[in-house]
């Protein structure tokens, strides 16, 4: 790593570094930001990321796993989407230009989409009439883009005609033009590694055109800016200007996929962060009367505490949702009221409509002071004249005395702040449920829960993208199994509903969107109903409960909830702290920004790139991958095996004449590594064991014990049960290793089997078992088990495998 850093310092650092820009906000705060245009250029120039970029929204048959499967991309004006498609023959077709199909028909594509893995065009059909040709704007044809044979310029050359080219031809000098969606994340972060809090406002970014499995890695999180003085709106305003520059002057860079220059524009896909940060997009937050940043729910205390008002908190009100223009109108009205020198009307307005802006309040405070000074120094001025004087002074001080996010194009500050599951579910709903449980227990009950929790089987609970909040993730997945004799029926219901909701929200792949959202809505209502019974006042003080109602809409627009989760951004904070502690904090924003593949060589005036040997280092060096936070795609071969001692196998006894190689683990079809003793789902074949020919490749064989899924749910846990086909007798059979589908988490039914807290085991200290013992659950030999449907790992596969009545929400 030191060699790489040395080479970067000494080999044209000005060419290969990210440009850092000095910014000054309307308030006067100075800070530095890494140029987001430059950062996105690296994704085109990096061969590891360029081939992964997706530029077109995708139409599916109900499936959803990526951001581009949602509705959000198609909510933009169509001319802001990627306008062109290049066929395999090398011809470039633009939207809003006439094109000819192979069969001779004429069409006008108006949007490019992906369908069943291929690029398609949505087109208007051109009809031939007695008067000539006319566009049938009512038609909406979806066709394979490869069926297009002649583009606009081909047709002009053949037939002549009026000018109709897409204006982006001239704007981009006939180079490829792409649209990039960029999420922005903001939060208050300490710049110190110690407990001393050194507040910095940090802005990070990602690239929504990359697959979700990549954007959750640190390698694909990029630092934009940090400041101890500027607020989130101030920094986002400066970043917004860099973004909007690309709309009129697309950025030129080198595309390693096609080995030629291209251009791109940037759109802000959404604004991510915890609830307070998202509310800072000019919303007063939970202290206001209308405290939801997305809809206008709430009101004065007497309204919220009435029957109708209280019931409305459990609903979303999309018809009266907040909009940027309404927010801007309210803030401008607050500025106008400030010009009279009286602050009470401003406070009432901000609290009544929930609109509050930190930048505007900076100017409001100055305007109030200015108006009061005028009233004292110039007694002859009327109230309106004072107001006119103050507003005139404000116009000379700032052209934008409010949150610049409200003026940003193509971003709706209220709707485009999706509910984030780390803070809303794990650190919100999950914490509330856990607090409701453990605060009602005495010391003996707490000890009983701790012993049970310590004895829990956590195999199959690993969630690949679980970066932070992991303790609450574990609690959410297994708490229900520890509550017998410890919880009231209401508390058990809360634990069950929260566990079911979590398993659904952490699904990265949705097979049927409408069915999924229907189930999700039921589970959200179940959680809110249980909270209403256990703690009716909770929703009056905790906005996160109400925000659950907005999750289905955000998933429909932005994709699965894990696609706009902020765990990767939260983990990137450690990179920021490592940079912060190296700064002398004389200019922290500049120092940190500066520490943060093909490039334009200013000497030779050509696009240069690293050689193959340098590019391959990332693929072959695990140490470098770890430093950069990049996880390469896992390579596994279902059916392959790892070796164990012969004496520990049972498959040896089935056919001793064959050639056997005892194994220790086998990869499942999903890539899960399955060691001996794990619960797995297998798909059996008719013939399993046969003597291999000498020329045949050996096949892996595993011995499994068969269990049967019960016809009804467990009466206490509400989950599917497992039992042996023949009571008290294990049923073993051998199957091909490639038949292993995936792992799952299964818990012993301790209540039905009479398990007691009489077991013991040595405590693990310094990675070794010590002579100090701790109490654990002593499981009986009765083979009664429960499938944990609260587990996040393989949650979708478990539900697809089991009968629907065993996993149905209700």
18 band by pLDDT with thresholds 50, 70 and 90: confident
Provide the pLDDT for residue 663: 65
pLDDT score of 618 more than 60 = no
Q: How large is the average pLDDT for residues 412-418?
A: 87
pLDDT at 447: 92
Could you tell me if 34 and 593 are in contact, meaning their C-beta atoms sit under 8 angstroms apart? Answer: yes
Mean pLDDT computed over 316-345:
84
Residue 136 pLDDT > 90: no
Query: What is the C-alpha separation between 619 and 625, in angstroms, rounded?
Result: 8
Instruction: Please indicate whether residue 695 or residue 619 has the higher confidence score (pLDDT).
Output: 619
Average pLDDT over residues 346-375: 87
Give the integer Cα–Cα distance in Å for 300 and 361.
23
Q: Which of 229-238, 382-391, 635-644 has the lowest mean pLDDT?
A: 635-644
Residue 309 β-bridge partners: none
pLDDT (average), residues 104-132:
89
pLDDT of residue 412: 87
Q: Is the pLDDT of residue 697 over 50?
A: no
pLDDT at 692 over 70: no
- Mean pLDDT over residues 76-105, rounded? 91
The rounded percent of the chain whose pLDDT value lies above 70 is: 82
Average pLDDT over residues 244-254: 93
DSSP assignment of 162-178: -----THHHHTTT-EEE
- More confident site: 457 or 551: 551
**pTM value?**
0.86
Q: Which sign does the torsion angle of CA 332, 337, 343, 346 carry?
A: negative
Q: pLDDT per residue over 467-519, tens digit each?
A: 445 677 888 999 999 999 999 999 999 999 999 999 999 999 999 999 999 99
Cα–Cα separations (whole angstroms), residue 402 to 26, 82, 84, 364: 9, 32, 37, 10
Contact by Cβ (8 Å): 182, 206: yes
- Give residue 351's pLDDT band: very low, low, confident or very high (50, 70, 90): confident
Domain parsing of the chain, residue ranges: 18-54+185-272+567-615, 58-178, 282-402, 421-562, 642-807
Q: Does the CA dihedral 95-96-97-101 come out positive or negative?
A: positive
pLDDT tens column, 298-315: 888 888 888 988 998 998
The per-residue pLDDT of the chain, averaged, comes to 83
Judge whether residue 252 has pLDDT over 70.
yes
pLDDT number for residue 649: 56
Binned at pLDDT 50, 70 and 90, residue 687 comes out as: very low
| pLDDT score, position 582 | 58
| 631 has pLDDT over 70 | no
Query: What DSSP state is assigned to residue 18?
Result: P
């Amino acid at each position: 790593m030191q060699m790489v850093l040395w080479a970067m310092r000494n080999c044209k650092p000005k060419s290969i570094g990210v440009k850092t820009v000095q910014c000054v906000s309307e308030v006067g705060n100075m800070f530095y930001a890494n140029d987001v245009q430059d950062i996105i250029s690296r994704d085109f120039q990096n061969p590891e990321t360029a081939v992964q970029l997706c530029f077109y929204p995708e139409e599916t048959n109900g499936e959803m796993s990526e951001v581009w499967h949602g509705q959000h991309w198609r909510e933009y004006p169509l001319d802001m989407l990627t306008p062109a498609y290049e066929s395999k023959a090398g011809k470039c077709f633009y939207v809003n230009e006439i094109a000819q199909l192979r069969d001779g028909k004429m069409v006008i594509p108006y949007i490019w989409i992906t369908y069943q893995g291929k690029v398609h065009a949505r087109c208007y059909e051109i009809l031939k009439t007695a008067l000539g040709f006319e566009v049938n704007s009512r038609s909406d044809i979806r066709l394979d883009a490869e069926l297009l044979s002649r583009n606009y310029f081909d047709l002009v050359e053949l037939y002549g005609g009026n000018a109709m080219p897409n204006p982006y031809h001239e704007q981009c000098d006939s180079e490829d033009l792409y649209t990039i969606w960029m999420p922005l994340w903001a939060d208050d972060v300490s710049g110190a590694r110690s407990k001393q809090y050194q507040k910095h406002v940090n802005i990070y970014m990602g690239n929504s055109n990359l697959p979700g499995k990549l954007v959750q890695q640190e390698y694909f999180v990029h630092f934009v800016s940090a400041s101890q003085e500027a607020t989130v709106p101030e920094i986002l305003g400066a970043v917004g200007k860099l973004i909007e520059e690309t709309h009129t002057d697309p950025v030129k860079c080198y595309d390693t996929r096609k080995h030629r220059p291209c251009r791109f524009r940037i759109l802000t896909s959404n604004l991510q962060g915890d609830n307070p940060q998202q509310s800072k997009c000019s919303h007063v937050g939970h202290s206001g009367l209308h405290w939801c940043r997305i809809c206008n729910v709430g009101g004065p205390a007497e309204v919220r505490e009435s029957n109708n008002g209280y019931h409305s908190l459990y609903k979303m009100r999309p018809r009266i949702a907040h909009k940027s223009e309404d927010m801007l109108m309210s803030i401008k009205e607050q500025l106008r009221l400030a010009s009279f020198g009286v602050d009470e009307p401003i406070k009432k307005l901000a609290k009544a409509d929930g609109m509050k802006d930190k930048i505007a309040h900076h100017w409001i405070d100055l305007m109030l002071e200015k108006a009061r000074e005028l009233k004292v120094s110039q007694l002859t001025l009327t109230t309106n004249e004072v107001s006119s004087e103050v507003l005139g002074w404000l116009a000379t001080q700032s052209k934008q005395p409010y949150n610049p996010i409200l003026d940003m194009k193509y971003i709706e500050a209220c709707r485009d702040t999706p509910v984030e599951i780390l803070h809303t579910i794990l650190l919100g709903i999950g914490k509330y449920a856990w607090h409701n449980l453990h605060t009602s227990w005495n010391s003996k009950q707490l000890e009983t829960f701790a012993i049970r929790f310590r004895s829990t089987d956590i195999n199959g609970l690993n969630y690949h993208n679980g970066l932070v909040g992991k303790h609450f993730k574990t609690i959410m997945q297994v708490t229900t199994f520890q509550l017998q004799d410890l919880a009231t029926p209401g508390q058990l219901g809360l634990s069950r509903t929260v566990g079911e909701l979590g398993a659904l929200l952490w699904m990265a792949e949705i097979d049927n969107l409408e069915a999924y959202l229907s189930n999700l809505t039921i589970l959200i209502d179940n959680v809110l109903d249980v909270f209403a019974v256990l703690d009716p006042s909770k929703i009056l003080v905790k906005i996160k409960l109400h925000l659950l109602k907005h999750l289905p809409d955000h998933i429909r627009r932005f994709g699965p909830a894990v696609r706009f989760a902020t765990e990767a951004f939260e983990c990137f904070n450690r990179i920021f702290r490592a940079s912060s502690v190296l700064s002398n904090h004389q200019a922290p924003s500049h120092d940190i920004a500066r520490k943060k593949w093909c490039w334009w060589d200013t000497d030779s005036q050509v696009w240069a790139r690293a050689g193959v040997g340098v590019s391959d280092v990332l693929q072959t060096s695990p140490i470098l991958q770890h430093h950069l936070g990049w996880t390469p795609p896992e390579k596994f071969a279902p059916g392959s095996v790892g070796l164990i001692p012969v004496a520990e196998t049972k498959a040896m006894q089935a056919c001793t004449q064959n050639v056997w190689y005892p194994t220790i683990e086998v990869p499942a079809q999903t890539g899960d590594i399955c060691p001996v003793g794990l619960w797995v789902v297998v798909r059996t074949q008719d013939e399993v064991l046969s003597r291999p020919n000498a020329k045949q490749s050996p096949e892996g064989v595993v011995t499994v014990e068969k269990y049967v899924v019960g016809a009804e749910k467990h009466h206490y846990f509400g989950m599917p049960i497992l039992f042996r086909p023949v009571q008290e007798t294990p049923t073993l059979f051998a199957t091909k290793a490639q038949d292993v589908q995936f792992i799952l988490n299964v818990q012993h039914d301790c209540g039905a089997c009479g398990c007691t807290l009489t077991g013991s085991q040595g405590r693990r200290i310094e990675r070794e078992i010590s002579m100090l013992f701790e109490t654990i659950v002593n499981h009986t030999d009765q083979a009664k088990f429960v499938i944990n449907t609260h587990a996040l790992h393989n949650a979708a596969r478990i539900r697809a495998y089991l009968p629907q009545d065993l996993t149905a929400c209700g």
